[in-house]
Each structure stands twice: as structure tokens, then as C-alpha cells.
């Protein structure tokens, strides 16, 4: 029986095989859209660095709880407007969703916060630059070309970010952030065929709110939330709408189309997004190392995408 698929602007419905199509095969147009979505998602995540200064004095855990609260509200409203009905999850799927929210959102933010305090953003950015290589190695049987391309992307991200300085504690927190970033993709893959990108994004963001509030109460007490200044409100709003709502949706739409190995190559655009944002906001012109790193990242992505694309089971 065919069911009509609700559609809203910017939402893809070609991830669902239609009558007469071979299930599990990604169409050429779907893959092209996946490439654009993966690149856009990781670039937007990179712009986060440009607004970090606006919220650096706001309580960190309370601020992140507010960020995900607003994002969840927007995403849940989108699910309602799109006519996406509630889907009953199995115990295993519920556990996966909770694990996704706990690791990919809550613990990831805690690791990044603590790593930045001990080692600075350069150390965190360098370690997170290895995400493409980690996802390529974990993607079943990645081709040598994809692995080589991931290594080029990692090199470019390292050059663009700079190794910086930090202690062992900062390095361990950064490695924790890397593991959580990988979990953000791999734990979502089994959920996407049943829930789709919007619901996975909405449910994981909603689950992160009470978890972050609990962490905030333990660390900051009642001072975890206060009325933000105009600049802080703008920064938190940007994180909620652009970096969370839009980027999550784009990434989770692209992931089943491309697979973690090929999609992970675009994580190298995170420092590129940071460089571009800094230039636009007048925070400093990119250095020769920044430009060289960006060129390496683009080269690595092109090499990786030239590898034959495996057939993928796409989400609904």
C-alpha cells in the first residue's frame, strides 16, 4: 500500500523508496543532495567558533540546556507541521536514542568545554579533525581511496587548526569528544530508517535538555541559568537554530545516503567554516596555514568522493 509522504520546504522525501524503485539504492539526485547536505552541515558546525565569544561568560551547562530546549521545540513543531506521526520504539531503539543524546550531545559538549579549559580550542579542533579517518575505518570495508582521502582531510584540518598547546588532561577530554562525535553518527544510523532525520534530531535534542540540566545543577547549582544579555541571547539562538536545528537535519539526511565513511570526509569542513566565519565577522584574516589546510581538506574530499559509492539503505 502506498502512503502519501508529507513534505515541507527543504525536507527530502526521496530517501523513501517509491513503488517501482529498488529499495536500498540511493538515486543519483539523492546522492548529490546528500553531498550538499553533508558539506553544509559540517560547515555550519564550524561557524560555531565565530559566535563562541558571545556566550563565553554565560553558564555553560545551563546555556547548552537552553540551546537544545529551543532546538527541540522548533524540531518538534516541524514534525507536527510535516504530519510526522509518533513512532513506537522498541526497547533497543529507545536505548540507542538515549545513548545518542547522552554521548553525541551531552557528553560531547562537556568534553569540549573541559578540553577547551585545559588545552584551548586549537587542541580540541585538531583532535576532532581526525573524525573523517575514524568514520572511514569504522565504515565496514572502506576502500583504500576513502581511507587515503580521510588521511588527507585530517592533515588539512590539523594544518588549519594548529596543534596548539595543552596538557594530558586536555588531550584526554579531546579524545572523549572525538569518541562522542563518532557516536553522534554511528548510533543514529540504525534509527534513521524508522524515524527519519527530523524525528531523530528532535528526540535527541529533547532528551539532552534534562541531562544537561542535571549536570548544570551538580556543577553550577542554581546559578546554571540567568537572563542572557542581548549578545548572549543572539549567540545561543544561533547555536539552537543554525548549528543544532539546521545542521542536525542536514547531517542526518546525508548520513544514510552517503554512509559514514564518505559523509565523514566533510567533517574536515569544520575548521574551514571557522576560518570563513572569523573572516566575515572581522575576527582576523586567514593565515597561509589556514588557507593551505583548507586546500588540503577540499583535495581530500574530492579524492574520497571519486571512490565508487556503495549501495545504501536509506532512511524514511
Residue 20 confidence (pLDDT): 39
Residue 1 confidence (pLDDT): 41
- Closest-CA residue to 271 (of 238, 293, 249, 246): 293
Determine contact, residues 267/132, Cβ cutoff 8 Å: yes
Q: Is 231 helix (H, G, I), strand (E, B) or coil?
A: helix
| C-alpha cell recorded at residue 42 | 559540517
Statement: residue 284 has pLDDT above 70: no
Residue 77 confidence (pLDDT): 95
More confident residue, 182 or 116: 182
Q: How confident is the model at residue 217 (pLDDT cuts 50, 70, 90)?
A: very high
Across residues 237-259, what is the average pLDDT?
92
Residue 122 confidence (pLDDT): 65
Residue 254 confidence (pLDDT): 93
Across residues 131-156, what is the average pLDDT?
81
Q: How confident is the model at residue 260 (pLDDT cuts 50, 70, 90)?
A: confident
Residue 7 confidence (pLDDT): 37
Statement: residue 13 has pLDDT above 50: no
Statement: residue 17 has pLDDT above 70: no
Q: How confident is the model at residue 27 (pLDDT cuts 50, 70, 90)?
A: low
Distance CA 15, CA 12 (A): 7
More confident residue, 228 or 304: 228
First-to-final CA distance of the chain? 16
Residue 237 confidence (pLDDT): 93
Q: How confident is the model at residue 195 (pLDDT cuts 50, 70, 90)?
A: very high
| C-alpha cell recorded at residue 66 | 537552553
For 148-189, write each residue's pLDDT tens digit: 888 888 888 778 766 555 677 877 888 898 899 899 999 999
Q: Is 20 helix (H, G, I), strand (E, B) or coil?
A: coil
Across residues 244-259, what is the average pLDDT?
92
Residue with cell 566533510: 266
Residue with cell 574520497: 304
| Total count of residues recorded for the chain | 316
Distance CA 60, CA 62 (A): 6
Q: Is residue 62 packed enough to be buried (19+ CB in 10 Å), middle (13-18) or exposed (0-12)?
A: buried
199 Cβ neighbours under 8 A, 6+ residues apart = 79, 84, 87
Amino acid at each position: 500500500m502506498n502512503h502519501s509522504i508529507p513534505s515541507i520546504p527543504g525536507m527530502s522525501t526521496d530517501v523513501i523508496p517509491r513503488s517501482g524503485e529498488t529499495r536500498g539504492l540511493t538515486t543519483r539526485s539523492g546522492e548529490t543532495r546528500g553531498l550538499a547536505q553533508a558539506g553544509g552541515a559540517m560547515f555550519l558546525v564550524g561557524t560555531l567558533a565565530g559566535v563562541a565569544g558571545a556566550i563565553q561568560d554565560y553558564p555553560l551547562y545551563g546555556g547548552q540546556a537552553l540551546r537544545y530546549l529551543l532546538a527541540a521545540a522548533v524540531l518538534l513543531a516541524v514534525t507536527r507541521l510535516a504530519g510526522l506521526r509518533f513512532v513506537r520504539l522498541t526497547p533497543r531503539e529507545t536505548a540507542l536514542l538515549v545513548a545518542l543524546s547522552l554521548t553525541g550531545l551531552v557528553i560531547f559538549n562537556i568534553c569540549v568545554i573541559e578540553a577547551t579549559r585545559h588545552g584551548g580550542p586549537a587542541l580540541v579542533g585538531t583532535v576532532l579533525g581526525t573524525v573523517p579517518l575514524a568514520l572511514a575505518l569504522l565504515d565496514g570495508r572502506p576502500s583504500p581511496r576513502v581511507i587515503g582521502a580521510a588521511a588527507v582531510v585530517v592533515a588539512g584540518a590539523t594544518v588549519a587548526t594548529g596543534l596548539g598547546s595543552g596538557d594530558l588532561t586536555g588531550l584526554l577530554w579531546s579524545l572523549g569528544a572525538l569518541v562522542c562525535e563518532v557516536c553522534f553518527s554511528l548510533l543514529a544510523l540504525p534509527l534513521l530508517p524508522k524515524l527519519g532525520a527530523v524525528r531523530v534530531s528532535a528526540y535527541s535534542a529533547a532528551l539532552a535538555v534534562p541531562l544537561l540540566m542535571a549536570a548544570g545543577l551538580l556543577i553550577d547549582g542554581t546559578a546554571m541559568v540567568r537572563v542572557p544579555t542581548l549578545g548572549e541571547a543572539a549567540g545561543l539562538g544561533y547555536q539552537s537554530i543554525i548549528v543544532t536545528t539546521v545542521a542536525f537535519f542536514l547531517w542526518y539526511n546525508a548520513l544514510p545516503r552517503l554512509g559514514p565513511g564518505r559523509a565523514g570526509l566533510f567533517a574536515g569542513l569544520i575548521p574551514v567554516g571557522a576560518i570563513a566565519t572569523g573572516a566575515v565577522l572581522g575576527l582576523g584574516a586567514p593565515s597561509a596555514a589556514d588557507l593551505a589546510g583548507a586546500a588540503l581538506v577540499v583535495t581530500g574530499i574530492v579524492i574520497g568522493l571519486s571512490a565508487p559509492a556503495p549501495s545504501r539503505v536509506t532512511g524514511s
